[in-house]
Amino acid sequence: MSLIVQKYGGTSVGSLELIQRVAARVAAVRERGDDIVVVVSAMGDATDRLLDLARGICPEPAPRELDALLATGEQVSVALLAMALEARGVKARSFTGAQVRIVTSPVHTRARIHRIETDRLRAALREGIVPVVAGFQGVDADGNITTIGRGGSDTTAVALAVALGADECQILTDVDGVYTTDPRMVPEARRLDRLSFEEMLELAGQGSRVLHLRCVEFAAKYNVPLRVASSFATGPGTLICKEERRVEAPVVSGIAFNRDEAQITVTNLPNEPLAIHRLLEPVSAASIEIDMIALTGNREGLTDLSFTVHRDDYPKALRLVRAAAAVFEGSTVSGDERVAKLAVVGVGMRSHAGVATRLFEALAAEGAAVRLVSTSEIKISVLIPEEQLEACVKRLHAAFGLDRPPESVALPIP
């Protein structure tokens, strides 16, 4: 007998009919004899409708009251799902964040979970009752209702799985797993059966929108196996777990990309840390996030610095860097806002040489103008002109054999 935490997102509980389908699915887990705790988000666009109400009162509503308002969205879904389960003869009980006591920091609209009291949930499980827990919300030490930010229901689910020592945390959503790359761009993209936490973090960080970074970090930290699967179909999805569990790790697991990049390059800077600091400091002070960064060349004490920012921040960042560079005689500042980032990710890189060679070979065959390179242990990222992105992703997907299934066995969803 396993203990499973299942999380259903807003699109999976977007109508009464869908809630009935979720109930049927939860009932099937019970029939199999497993224990289950269900976490749900607000129905469909309920949160947006509540936000509209709040903004109808004032442009910047009091955060404490905004949290109290938004928390009703999940309270509606948990009550309806518990009703649907009871109507099918499955014992169930809804819980708000306050009722569980998901205790968070006393910060509104983006609280952090401090601890979860599991007494009431464990008592329900012992009685054969399915606890249906409101995602996204908690309560601070003074009993004020808090929310943990958008996408927070995933984090609630992982945190509950950790607190209860669950065997698996399943995120049921509108995609059927994590893919080798975006299937909308590459039709040959394959669903991955398994992936390590680190790979998932690199993929998520690069803009694969399946799971929130924070929830993957949480699962990795406490080593809770995480499964992403479809709430509409019955596939095994993708299991994200510790690296050791993999039978055979492929060299490259997936290709991530991000179009919203812009590059700024400064040439002929004094090659000393203080100069770099003086150049980048105003950008950071303006809360502009710097992503890739590379120093190139070192001739006669001079160097070139190149980095990327989000395309929306580009005009401001360029202005700030121009002003900061003015003090360095002979320096030049240039920029390009039509660039894209592409990254190959895989824990297999650690033990396999030649990934970079194969990467550049493929990029060269595509005639890609590589503008910036940065590497981590399990990832190589390159910046290329945006118009070359699609062709490069497709060529790399084939070059690393991602369109062929690996020789591992797909495990049935527990």
Per-residue binding string, its own copies, 46-65, x by CB under 8 A, is ----x--xx-xxx--xx-xx
Which residue lies nearer to its own copies by CB, 43 or 203?
A: 43
Instruction: Check binding of 41 to its own copies (CB under 8 A).
Output: no
Distance CA 108, CA 296 (A): 43
Exactly one of 11, 20, 230, 374 binds its own copies (CB under 8 A); that residue is: 20
Closest Cα partner for 215 from 23, 2, 379, 9? 9
Answer yes or no whether residue 321 interacts with its own copies by CB under 8 A: no
| Distance in Å, CB of 43 to its own copies, minimum | 9
Q: Are 80 and 118 in contact (CB under 8 A)?
A: no
Q: Is 117 in the site for its own copies (CB under 8 A)?
A: no
b (16+ CB within 10 A) / e for 17-26: ebbbbbbebb
45 binds its own copies (CB under 8 A): no
**21 part of the interface to its own copies, by CB under 8 A:** no
d(CA 306, CA 52): 41
Which of 12, 96, 170, 263 contacts its own copies by CB under 8 A? Answer: 96
- Binding test (CB under 8 A) with its own copies, winner from 3, 18, 51, 79: 79
In the bound state with its own copies, the residue whose beta carbon lies nearer, of 132 and 292, is: 132
Span of 90-98, 188-196, 287-295, 305-313 interacting with its own copies by CB under 8 A: 90-98
292 contacts 307 by C-beta, under 8 angstroms: yes
Residue found by looking up tokens 């590459």 in the block: 186
CB of 95 to its own copies, least distance (A): 9
CA nearest 29: which of 5, 57, 61, 54? 5
137 is a site residue for its own copies (CB under 8 A): no
Q: What is the distance between the alpha carbons of residues 131 and 117, in angstroms, rounded to a whole number?
A: 14
Touching its own copies, residues 140-199 (CB under 8 A): 143-145
Phi, then psi, of 33 in degrees rounded to 5: 100, 5
- Asked if 68 touches its own copies (CB under 8 A), the answer is yes
**What token pair was written down for 181?**
């790359």
